[in-house]
Structure formats: structure tokens, C-alpha cells
Chains A and B, each alone.
Chain A
Amino acid sequence: MLLLVLTGCGDDPDALEEMTPESALGSQNAAPLERLLEPFDPPPLEELSQGATWIDRPVLDAVVSLREEQAAEPQLATPEEALALINDSVEANAKILSALGRVADEGQADLSASVNRHIPADVGSTNPILISSTAEFDVLGLTGFGLFSFDRRMEPFALADAVVSWQTSADGLLDKVVLRDDLVWSDGEPITAHDVSFTFQVIMDPRVPVPAVRSGTDQLKWVHAYDDQTLVFFHKQPFATNVWNINFPVLPKHVYEATWEDDPTLKDSSAHVKLEQQPVSGGPYEIVERTRGQQIVLRRRESWHTVNGEQVRDQPFFEEIRFRIIEDPNTSLLALKAGEIDEMILLPEQWTTQTVGDDFYERNTKATSLEWVSFHFGWNVSTPYFSDRRVRRAMSYAFDHERMLEKLCYGLYEPATGVFHKTSWMATRKKLEPYRQDLDAAENLLDEAGWIDHDNDGIRDKEINGRFVPFEFSILTSNQPLRVAICTLLQESLDRIGVRVNVRPVESTVLQQFTLEHKFEAYFGGWGTGTDPDTSENIWRTGAGRNFVNYSNPEVDQLYDEGRRELDRAKRAEKYSRIQEILYDDQPYTWLYWRNSFYGFSKDVRGYVFSPRGPYNYSPGFSSLWKPVQQ
């Protein structure tokens, strides 16, 4: 299952796991025995049902709904035509996506096929509640068991593979789910509602170091299993975001019940070490082989689709999924060209210059799509340099945006103006102009803000607490060529107006630490999108964990509160639009660009459909990929 973690993203696929989700901070900073969960005595089911009116929520089979949706879309080309295309234009890309991005109809897919996926880093853990990196999400999305997901428009639904019905009470305080009775773990034990309520207790135990999954789950008051199938989620508040909080991965209770109290790290004891190597799977695949730093092999799980000799669920399209771990993007491109892997994320320069010839198109094709991943310079507003809004605006005016987009990013990206992408429902309808380089405006703003070269050394300075402080600061960035080049361009731009910048490329872990501790003047970074605009709250609320730049605006805090309470989507959108407009005015970030997704695929692979979170991070995501039957 996919979780609602806002991932920090990079130009490099491996940078996707750069930012720690906020709950990691929570677990580090929390006092060891702080109680996360208040004891709660759930009332009997009859009592609940008497008072409440239940509203039915969607229960869908993701692949089937996608197939139905696609049946209504016109197909712009046949697969043969699409495979012969060179993807060098918007039209060609649309044709490729339309023809090759279709999910398989009955009998089309080769169910004995295997696929080699590329991941840029090994997984840290195979325990579903310890996941935090994208690689872990990729693997555990296939081996883990969960009840909920969301589609490519980020509309939540319950998975028909696992759930019979899902209802929400009219007051918004309860969610009732009835599980299917034909679910089994890979060791043969049935999957029940008790597994879910048990997992909730484990996640909420402060002794368990849960890096990502706890954010959201901590908004729940209680999860109670009334019998093997019936499950009720109790919410603290009737928030619009409740629908995301009930989505968390599930542990097998019968396995962990005996072991987790002795070893709450879920990693150290010998029993847990063994489970780490041979985890009990609840999803459609199970891990059959794992070589650290090299590969992870998943095999389709018989007991997932066939229970008691009867097929109860559709078989997933691949018999075997092999995750190949290749860190270096150049090596992985060579592997793709040689047919050793079937898909990978392409870097902009790979897309533009290294995947245009026959050596690439012989075995592969490629596709691109919009992705809501934006990059920015973050200005630490608690430093004397950037506390003034005029200075931050001057920075945005001084930077050579056009050059960055055209030369450094190969003209592949569109400029960003704020936190929400303009095609999303929460984005403002006002037209926010992207900043363009205007050195006169920048110099005037700096003059106004008092940054003038008083001592004639070519560097602007300002008197702060009786001392002249020169305008010279460092910008942190992770050590990747494109990022360093963008920061160097900022340096060049600002150098022209008497502001000195030192570019400091550091390891991404070091960057993470410095930003979390607010020990920087400026940094270059990026954010992916969560499924709900509320997930950006921990970036902008005063004192929030990922508010690296120390931004604080009571109005924004207020709007986040209101947005969470508001259940009507149009009214919610107004709140978030307003936040976006305020942030645009304040420029705590200089927003730079939206990074699209670029993927190379083997010509054998079909069924890739892109969402604003890329081709895999939603439902069905990777499950819609297939290979055709060989003629």
C-alpha cells in the first residue's frame, strides 16, 4: 500500500529518499516514554450502529477501474506504431502513452512473464511499518497488505481485493470496514481485522522507531476489531484528512505478537532478524531472494489469488519481479540498453542526449509526463539576510530563471510559482507570474532593504547591531551535478549585483541534518506531492518539523486549521489557494521548476500510466504493468 508521505525529491532517483518524514523527528525528539495513545474503551457495535448514519464509500478493484476508464479514452496509435516512434515531440509522447499505457485485457498478458525493475538504493527494512524510502515503498507496495489506496487523481478508495465494504459515519468520526474472509498470509494463517488493530497498537507505541507510517496514524483515536472481519476506526476530530489516516500497512499479528514486546525496535532480536530476511507477506507477491546491495526477487504468491483451491482474486500480471539495485545512473542506463532491466527513471541529460539513438530504441522506448515535484531555493528567514521579504523577492528577481530552464534543465521543465501545481484542485485560480530575471528590480529592492555597499568593497552590506555585515552567505545542496550547476548559476547571478554566495555541495544525509537543525542560510531542495494539500502543513506551519526555513505566518497557520476542518472540497480549495498566494507574496522559497517524470521502458512492457506522483506511486501503479504473450 502506498502511504501519504511527502517525499523530498531529487534529480536523481536516489534523492527521492532524501527528506525524512516528520514522524521520524517525532520519534527522535519524543521523550522515550511519552504516551502516544490514550486508552479508549470502544462502545459495542450495536450502540455505534444505532446512533450513526453510515455513508457508503467506494470499494474498487484498481486494475478493473483503470481498464474501464481507459476503454472510454481514444487510442491514438496501435502498439506497433507506438513502438516504432521516436519520442521527440508532445504528440509522439501522447501516442506512446496512449498505445502502450493500456492495462491488459483478458488473455493479453503473459502471466508467466518476469520483469526487472530498477531501484537506485537497497531497502533498509522489509518490515512494512518501518518503511520510509521510495525503494521500500516500491517493494512493500507489492508484498504488503493494506486496506486502502488512491487512484491517479488521488481519490481514496478501499481495495476490493481486501475489503467488502467501507462506510463513514455522517458525523465524520467513524470509519467502518468489513474485510473479506478469504485472505491469508503467506504462511497460511488468515488475515483478519485483529491484525489491523494490532498493527495500530504497535505503530503507536513510542518504543517502536516508526520512521514514516506514524504521521497520520497518530490522528486516530483508536482502531477496534469487533470480530475477524469488522473493523472500526475512531477519529479524534471530523477532519477532511481522516480518510488518509486510516491507510497504514498491516503486520501479521500471530507472528509479531510474541516477539515485539521483547524487541520493540523490530530489528535486533534473532526472531526479527530472521523475519527481516524472510518476511511474512500479505500482498500479492512474496520475497524469495534478497542479496543486499544487489537484488530483491519477488514471486507471485499462490495463496493470494487462490484460497482453498479456488481462484478468488485476479492474478497479478508478473510471475516474478526482480528489483535490481544500481546506484549509478550511467550504469543503469547501460543496463537498460543491454536489456538487463526493463524500466528506469531517466535524468534530463539522459533523456535529451543519451536516449535518442538506435542503441536505445533497439530495445526500449521512453515516456514523460507531468509530475508534481517542485524544486526551490529555501531562504532561512531567521537569518539576518533573509528576514526581510524584500530581500527574498530580490533573490527571486536576481536569479537567471530562463537560463536554468533552457540550458541547465534542457528546456524540459516548466517554471514553478508556488506550493501547488496549477492543474491541482487546491491551486489558486489567480495567475501567479513566474519570476523572471530583473536585476534592476533586484538591486532596487536590496537598496530599499538597506543592503548597500557602504564600504566600497563591491559587496553589499548592512548595519546590524552596530556592525556592518557583508551580504555573503552559503547555499547548501546535495552533491549532484545539476543541483550544483543551478546553485552556481545563483552564485553567478547574485555576484552581478554585489551579493556573494558560497556553494556548498554536501552529502544528502548531511544536507538533511543541516536543514532539520535549521543550520543554513539557504539551501536547494525539492518536494514531491502528498495526496492531500494538508500534507504540506508540516512545511509551512510555524515551528513544524519540516519548516526548514523557519517560516512563520499566523494567517497561514490559521488557514491550515480551517482547511482541515472544512469538508466541502470547493471551500477547502479556497483555503489552500489563499495559502499559496500568501506564500507567493512572501517568497520564503524561490520556486524554480516542476520536474517531470522521465522513464525508459523496455519495448516488452505495457501498461504504464502516469499520475502526478509518477507512474508507480498510486494504485494500481506498478500493478498495471504487463508483458504481452509472445507470438
Chain B
Amino acid sequence: MSSDQTAPMTRSSSPSEAKGFWSEAWRRFRGRKLSMAALGFVLFLVLVATFAPAIAGTKPVVCKYKGTIYFPCLSYFDRSLEPVIFAKDRFRGTYPANLAEKDPESWAIWPLVFQDPYRSVRDNEWPGEPANPARDQGKPSRRNLFGTDQYGVDVFAKMVHGTTVALLVGFVSMGLAGTIGITVGATAGYFGGWVDMLASRLIEVVMCIPTLVLILALVAFVDQPSIWKTMAIIGLTGWTGIARLARAEFLRLRSSEFVMAARAAGAGPVRIMLRHILPNALAPVLVPITFGIASAILIESSLSFLGFGPPPPSVSWGSLLNDARSNLQMWWLVVFPGVAIFLTVLSYNLVGEGLQEATDPRLREARK
């Protein structure tokens, strides 16, 4: 991604062409098989994250208990969503035996894989199944598809539930970075002069801050570390590239004819920036955002690997790698999360590249 993209584009698009530009870009993007496959993989991850409790869990997806329908699996998203009746009836988190025992009439639909991301499955918890193997005995098997970690927690369940963190980190932190970057860049580029001067210096100052070191320092100070704070820090430090590109685009477009026309028609600066310039400036800005998502995922994984990830028991792929560090003979703790991180980051990069080629006319022409 080049940040010195200052040369004016040869085919500047006018407002009436904007819609055509995007469908054109989408057509070109579709033509790139690798990028499409990558996009498919990202969508697949979104599905996995959304349906994680139905894929792996120890709580029924749906169950009927004492005449009422419940969705206990939702408590994986938020613990307060767990129906209180199960606590009152002293279920203590163990559903299969308790459901049958306390209400013989009850029925339940179970997740595809009966394994919990936060704890090891106990002996006979699922009728007839033994407890998970612990220590370094948990090789991948029929019951534990990706094996178990040294404490007997299923790696597959951890990875499925860790997908949420991996995706959220990317979207939330880059959403934040995109918002800040575009706002700062747009203001700087549109107004120019001393505003531009100030904003550019600010960008340069923030660029000098090494993100990882800052995060490590903050983690030591913050009272209650959480994944949201990590995302916030990644977002708050990662907007500079976006801001520079946005600034360049706004600088270029503010003197174009359609902007002048809008100004002549009496539109205010905010309206011009949002309605007229932004849609035309978005394409080059989206590219660094996509790459940013990939690097945010990497940063989160590195943090978890270093032991500064989200506090337990939340799971992330990086923390699995951290477990592997002291148990190198348990190869499944390295391979599965490692491959998952690699594929995800690769996918985002491929999507980003596809987007870049589909929207950047210079690259298109260079190919001819």
C-alpha cells in the first residue's frame, strides 16, 4: 500500500458515475479467483463466529424444560442470558444428566460437538463418554477433533469460540481507526492551511508510537484489562495510514468541478465532505483498512502469545499458541491455531489486494 499516492487520477469519477464505479469494481473483484476465495473464507469465519455456541458447547441450543422453551447456549455470548431457572434448580452448568433427571419430559437440541471452550468435559457428563484427556495425552481424536490442551480443554471448541475474538479485533479496531483516520484526513485535506499543518504533524507524532510497546505499557497500568481495551488501543494507534490517504484524496477532490458546483449551490463544508467527496474517496481508503484488519489480528495474537491477551477464561487463538510454547511436544496446539491465524491474515490481505486492484485504475492499466 503506497501512502504517497498523490498524483491525480486520470479518470476522476463524477458523482453520476459513482454507482457505476462500485459495480465496476465488484465485477473486477469477482474476476480474481483468489480474492473471491479469500472473501468466502472471511464470510465462513463470520458464520462460525455467529453460530459458535451451536457448533461447540455443552449447553443445549434449544431445550424444553418444565413446559417452557429455553436457549441456554446464548449464555456463551453473554452470561446474563443463561435462564435463571437452571441456576435455581441447581443445574450447576451440567445439562445432559440434569435435564433428564429433573424433568423426564424435557427435550433438547445439542450443539454439533459436545465440548466446552472454557473447561474440560467431565467424566460421563455426556452419557457414556469419558472425561477429556489432559497433560500431553490429548492428541486429536474423534471426540477432540483438534486435541485438548494440557488442562484437558478441547482445542476445537476453543478455536471455534476464539473466532469471535479474532474477527471482532479486526472489525472493531479498524472501524475505530477508519473513523478517526477519515475524519482527521478529511478535515486536513479539505480545509488545508494551518488545519492541514496541525493534522499532519499529529499524524506524524502518532506514527512514531510503536503500537505493541504502547499496548504492553497500558496493559500493565489498566485496572481491568479486557479485549475491548486492547481493540481500542490498536484502533487509536492504527489510523495514521488511513488518515494520510484520506487527506490526499480530499486534497485532490476539493478542487474538482463537482465540489465547486456543490459549493456554488450553497452546500456547507460538512455536507460537501460527507455527501460529495467521501463516496469518491472511499475506495483507496478501504484498502489500508482491509490490510489493517489483518495486522490487528496479528497484533492481538502476538499479545495473547506474550500472555497479555484478554483475561481468562476468554479464549483467543494467540493464547493457544502461548500454551504451546511450554508444551512443544503437543504439536496440535501449534498447528491448528497457527494455520487459522495464517489463513485469516492471508485472506484479509488477499481481499485487500483484490480491492486495490479492482479500484485503482493505475494498477489496472499497468496490467494491460
Contacts and interface: CB of A to CB of B under 8 A. Distances in A.
Of listed A487, A495, A502, A503, residue having the most chain B CB within 10 A:
A495
A502 B92 CA distance: 18
A353 B135 contact: yes
Q: Which of A456, A481, A505 has the most CB of B within 10 A?
A: A481
Contact of A503 (B119, B152, B313, B328): B313
Nearest to B223: A504
B92 A496 contact: yes
Given A353-B329, A481-B323, A502-B311, A410 B135 contact: yes
B313 to A, nearest CB: 5
Contact of A485 (B88, B151, B325, B327): B151
Interface string A464-486: 00000000000000010100110
A173 interface: no
A585 to B, nearest CB: 27
A505 B310 CA distance: 10
A112 interface: no
User: Interface size class for chain A?
Assistant: 35 or more
B151 A407 contact: yes
Contact of B84 (A347, A403, A458, A485): A458
B104 interface: no
Interface string A441-479: 001000000000100111000000000000000000001
Interface in B12-44: none
A106 B80 CA distance: 72
Contacts of A488: 118, 312-313
B326 A505 contact: no
Contacts of B152: 407
A505 B92 CA distance: 25
B68 interface: no
A205 B118 CA distance: 53
Contact of B82 (A458, A489, A497): A458
B134 interface: yes
B326 A481 contact: yes
A507 B225 CA distance: 13
Given A349-B326, A492-B119, A503-B312, A439 B92 contact: yes
B307 interface: yes
A408 interface: yes
Given A330-B326, A353-B327, A498-B87, A407 B224 contact: no
Interface string B325-355: 1111100000000000000000000000000
A425 B118 CA distance: 42
Interface string A550-587: 00000000000000000000000000000000000000
A484 B94 CA distance: 23
Contacts of B136: 353
Given A453-B84, A456-B84, A505-B312, A349 B220 contact: no
B93 interface: yes
A53 interface: no
Contacts of A369: none
Contacts of B224: 502, 504
Contact of A443 (B90, B119, B151): B90
A492 B152 CA distance: 14
A503 B135 contact: no
A588 B291 CA distance: 52
Given A479-B307, A496-B93, A453 B326 contact: no
A307 interface: no
A496 B93 CA distance: 6
B151 A408 contact: yes
B311 A503 contact: yes
A510 interface: yes
Contacts of B328: 330
Contacts of A495: 93
Interface in B87-144: 87-88, 90, 92-94, 118-120, 134-136
Interface string A339-357: 0000000010100111000
A457 B75 CA distance: 12
B183 interface: no
Contacts, number: 76
A544 B115 CA distance: 46
A491 interface: yes
A484 B135 CA distance: 16
Contacts of B94: 496
Contacts of B80: 457-458
A470 to B, nearest CB: 11
B179 interface: no
A497 B80 CA distance: 14
Nearest to A486: B151
A26 interface: no
A484 B327 contact: no
A352 B312 contact: no
Contact of B312 (A403, A487, A496): A487
A329 interface: yes
Given A407-B151, A456-B84, A492-B118, A504 B326 contact: no
Contacts of A408: 151
Interface string B275-290: 0000000000000000
Contacts of A489: 119
Contact of B135 (A347, A352, A496): A352
A155 to B, nearest CB: 39
B211 interface: no
Contacts of B50: none
B150 interface: yes
A491 B313 contact: yes
Nearest to B120: A407
A507 B307 contact: no
A458 B87 contact: yes
Contacts of B87: 453, 458, 498
A510 B220 contact: yes
Nearest to A510: B220
Most chain B CB within 10 A, of A443, A485, A502, is at A485
Nearest to B133: A407
A349 B327 contact: yes
A498 B307 CA distance: 28
B233 to A, nearest CB: 18
Contacts of B82: 458
Interface in A350-401: 352-354
Contacts of A497: 92
Pick the 6 closest A-B CB pairs, nearest first: A496-B92, A407-B134, A458-B87, A353-B136, A488-B312, A456-B84
Given A330-B326, A347-B326, A500-B79, 6 more contacts: A349-B150, A353-B136, A353-B327, A458-B79, A505-B312, A510-B220
Interface of B: 79-80, 82, 84, 87-88, 90, 92-94, 118-120, 134-136, 150-152, 220, 224-225, 307, 311-313, 322-323, 325-329
30 contacts: A329-B326, A330-B328, A347-B326, A352-B135, A353-B329, A407-B134, A407-B151, A407-B152, A439-B90, A439-B92, A453-B84, A457-B80, A458-B79, A458-B80, A458-B87, A479-B307, A481-B326, A487-B312, A488-B118, A488-B313, A489-B119, A491-B313, A492-B93, A496-B92, A496-B94, A502-B311, A503-B312, A504-B225, A505-B307, A510-B220
